[in-house]
Structure 1
Amino acid sequence: MSIEIKAPQFPESVPDGTIATWHKKAGEAVSRDELIVDIETDKVVLEVVAPADGVLAEILKDEGDTILSNEVIARLEEGAAPAASAPKQEATAPAAAAPQASDEKLVNPSARKMASENNVNVGAVEGSGKGGRVTKGDVIDHLKGGAASPASAPAPAAVASQSPAAMPAGDRTEKRVPMSRMRARIAERLLEASQSTAMLTTFNEVDMGPVMELRKKYKDQFEKSHNGTRLGFMGFFVKAAAEALRRFPAVNASIDGNDVVYHGYQDIGVAVSTEKGLVVPVLRNTEHMGLADVENTIRDFGLRARDGKLGMDDMMGGTFTITNGGVFGSLMSTPILNPPQTAILGMHKIQERPMAVNGKVEIRPMMYLALSYDHRLIDGKDAVQFLVAIKDMIEDPARILLEI
């Protein structure tokens, strides 16, 4: 029985997707729930698995093709065995198989099509994909590299003979690859934020000593009491931000046309860096979460982001964002808004600096904080007071518990 393999249902905010990688070729056997293809969207990479045991009979969409929600991308023959006629055809027609002998390496369908159109033997193309797979970009690079005619090859030698003292140039290779959908969407949103908002940034600094001492004192007991959940710094900032957002509703609001939407909840996104780009999973209703809930959820987000397992629902919405460039060593930066949100908090590296404390100079672990905000909605006074509220709660963590 033939089964249609369809793309997943995309959310309304995701109009389409792109076929990223086929893990199976037409004619290959597949097992139920085995990964067949990766589909890249603006936000995440979705995995499509086989609905049953059988053979992947036909691939309808090549890598790089744009697809819509629930669009048929392949067909599977349930319970069928892999076709065994191909080797017999090669044996009976060795002359026809000879040009394809070097084509036994892994080749993407789009790369094979381009190679055929340009009379390129894919066996001579160096593959840069997973397991040496030849991609469309590899064929393009091969075509560019072979553009020079053999007659032009001696030219460098002629130049060298005219200037014997010249040293041979080092490798000056270039590689052109298409921008991923996720990276393109990130670029689009950042450009949109800079062009469509009146973004301004205010800075402050916070003494991390009290939180560090509290963490040092209770981290072992905290981990034991909460089933292995570790006590980090992000939990304190999320809880401090949730309380500050409650006090300053404009910072938790968003602009929709000529309307201002005030949210009666604090859904805080936490920026997570992955190999494919920055993603912002959202902690829902942080005002009702404890420190252990926050830390455990953030850890789960980090692990799933690393493995590419974050779903679209994890990153939808959000009323405020926190990003931590300090984990990479950033001392100070200006975070860019995540529309339609109107503010974003930037954390940075903890660094010991001499500070005046009660008239004396002390070495304290300090962190710069940055709050970027949309001046169309948030006045400078509210932005500064919001950041000061976070600073006060971090420097005196009891305020978080007492909500003062």
Structure 2
Amino acid sequence: MSYFDIITPDLPESVADATVVKWHKAVGDSVKRDDILVEVETDKVVLEVPALDSGVLESIEQPEGATVVSKQPLGRVAKGETVVAPVSAQSLQTEPRPAPDHHDSLGPSVRRLVGEHDLNPQDIPGSGKHGRITREDVVQALASKETQSPVSQSAVKNSLEFRGEQRVPMTRLRKRIAERLLEVKNSTAMLTTFNEVDMQPIMQLRKKYGEQFEKQHDVRLGFMSFYVKAVVEALKRYPVINATIDGDDILYHNYFDISIAVSTPRGLVTPVLRDCDKMSMAEIEKQIKVLAEKGRDGKLTVEDLTGGNFTITNGGVFGSLMSTPIINPPQSAILGMHAIKERPVAVDGQVVIRPMMYLALSYDHRLIDGKDSVRFLVTIKDLLEDPARLLLEI
């Protein structure tokens, strides 16, 4: 009988090791070619290791929680076709055909959530593309399960009175986020400046052309494409915001790679939109959608997360009214967008109600002077309040 080893994928040069976070097969289970056998987590991404051929999982050499390096054997599979018991013609006629098992097509975060709560994927209706189960579908199924489960008043009372604790090890990504946040606080002279922008012109533009834009480009016209375009134009005018400190030198970048903060089940990540100055608004919206879906499904690669000269984070999607975002090193600045709220403002001597949004720019004061940071933020405000200037580049 022949075998093949399950091998840790090649890790990026900046990643020394990884952690085995989830085995999807147990010893003795049959596997098919391309089945996901195990997930390996680095401090940046989750890597899925598929089966190279069909067979039976013979051994697991590295259990969950083990630290591994590139090309290290994780287990072994004995090659061979899975033996299937014969089925009579009568049973085929009388027994209903089971639904296909889509468990292996689930994203890593969804699969983990299903496993933690002992759910059957076949019982969860999928709202994603081609009926794929999303994280929201699992959350909804859990909520439905809780409401349908009869619980006595005494059981509820006992659960409320029980004061317990749960110790869970931090994921590699969460550890890395913590390290980088402390590094920024300790190694930069970070300062934040604020402004506000009247979003009514952009909202009117989206209302007027949003439906036609979606029909023509097959993607919704969101706010992020306006933000990215405004940031790129402002970076052209203030190149020091697009620069970084490299030892005793200042490194100016003549390209515009914008990091977009994306919330995922594993934590906040910042995939990169490259060469944004060369992209149309439709291309920006499509790329943001792709990166958001990859982040939700745990499919972001190291290449997706590498680089970036400036970061945009939008806490407004969660209802944040104002915040002080923390710089994403080695970048020198980050722009925080917030919730759009109707507020009374003075326009031409009259008090009117307008959809207003606060802007926050955090920057490294070692490199960027207050004058440049304020003018940069005012430029973004002016561009967003008069979107035609984005097209005319004035």
When normalised by structure 1's length, the TM-score is: 0.78
Asked if 1:233 corresponds to 2:205, the answer is: no
Measured in 1, the distance between the counterparts of 2:290 and 2:205 equals 24
SS of aligned partner of 1:131: coil
The structure-2 alpha-carbon separation of the partners of 1:307 and 1:389, relative to structure 1 and needing over 3 Å to count, comes to same
Aligned equivalent of 1:178 = 169
Measured in 2, the distance between the counterparts of 1:249 and 1:276 equals 33
Shift of 1:261: 1.6
Asked if 1:319 corresponds to 2:299, the answer is: no
How far does the alpha carbon of each residue in 1:213-271 deviate from its partner, in whole angstroms, 9 at most, with x for none? 11111001111111x21101110000110111111111111222222221111100111
Give the AA of the match of 2:73: V
SS of aligned partner of 1:330: coil
User: Any stretches of 5+ residues in structure 1 without a counterpart?
Assistant: 83-127, 133-166
Aligned equivalent of 2:282 = 292
Measured in 2, the distance between the counterparts of 1:311 and 1:168 equals 41
Measured in 1, the distance between the counterparts of 2:392 and 2:346 equals 28
Give the AA of the match of 1:240: A
Q: Which has the larger radius of gyration?
A: 1
Aligned equivalent of 1:141 = none
Shift of 1:5: 1.6
User: Any stretches of 5+ residues in structure 2 without a counterpart?
Assistant: 84-114, 120-157
SS of aligned partner of 2:58: strand
How far does the alpha carbon of each residue in 1:320-371 deviate from its partner, in whole angstroms, 9 at most, with x for none? 1000001111000000010001100000010111111111111111000000
Measured in 1, the distance between the counterparts of 2:362 and 2:183 equals 15
Shift of 1:75: 1.7
Give the AA of the match of 1:72: P
How far does the alpha carbon of each residue in 1:358-391 deviate from its partner, in whole angstroms, 9 at most, with x for none? 1111111100000000111111111111111111
Measured in 1, the distance between the counterparts of 2:268 and 2:79 equals 39
Measured in 2, the distance between the counterparts of 1:390 and 1:229 equals 24
Measured in 2, the distance between the counterparts of 1:130 and 1:307 equals 18
Measured in 2, the distance between the counterparts of 1:242 and 1:9 equals 35
The structure-2 alpha-carbon separation of the partners of 1:199 and 1:79, relative to structure 1 and needing over 3 Å to count, comes to same
SS of aligned partner of 1:63: coil
Aligned equivalent of 2:79 = 78
Shift of 1:62: 1.0
Measured in 1, the distance between the counterparts of 2:209 and 2:160 equals 59
Measured in 1, the distance between the counterparts of 2:298 and 2:117 equals 16
Give the AA of the match of 1:233: F
Asked if 1:200 corresponds to 2:191, the answer is: yes
Asked if 1:303 corresponds to 2:286, the answer is: no
Shift of 1:25: 1.4
Aligned equivalent of 1:160 = none
Give the AA of the match of 1:301: L
Measured in 2, the distance between the counterparts of 1:3 and 1:361 equals 74
When normalised by structure 2's length, the TM-score is: 0.80
Number of paired residues? 327
Aligned equivalent of 2:251 = 261
Aligned equivalent of 1:210 = 201
Aligned equivalent of 2:125 = none
Measured in 2, the distance between the counterparts of 1:51 and 1:352 equals 56
Equivalent positions of 1:4-43 (< 5 A) are 4-43=5-44
Measured in 1, the distance between the counterparts of 2:342 and 2:160 equals 46
Measured in 1, the distance between the counterparts of 2:202 and 2:16 equals 44
Aligned equivalent of 2:58 = 57
SS of aligned partner of 1:371: strand
Measured in 2, the distance between the counterparts of 1:327 and 1:191 equals 25
Pick which of 58-67 and 281-290 moved more.
58-67
How far does the alpha carbon of each residue in 1:59-81 deviate from its partner, in whole angstroms, 9 at most, with x for none? 11111111112222112222265
The structure-2 alpha-carbon separation of the partners of 1:130 and 1:20, relative to structure 1 and needing over 3 Å to count, comes to farther
Measured in 1, the distance between the counterparts of 2:194 and 2:240 equals 18
Give the AA of the match of 1:377: L
Asked if 1:356 corresponds to 2:346, the answer is: yes
**Which of residues 220, 234, 248 in structure 1 aligns to 2:211?**
220
Aligned equivalent of 1:379 = 369
**Which of residues 333, 342, 353 in structure 2 aligns to 1:343?**
333
Give the AA of the match of 2:269: V
SS of aligned partner of 2:118: helix
SS of aligned partner of 2:250: strand
The structure-2 alpha-carbon separation of the partners of 1:176 and 1:355, relative to structure 1 and needing over 3 Å to count, comes to same
Aligned equivalent of 2:390 = 400
Alignment root-mean-square deviation, CA: 2.1
Aligned equivalent of 1:3 = 4
Equivalent positions of 1:45-194 (< 5 A) are 45-79=46-80, 129=116, 131=118, 170-194=161-185
Shift of 1:130: 5.3
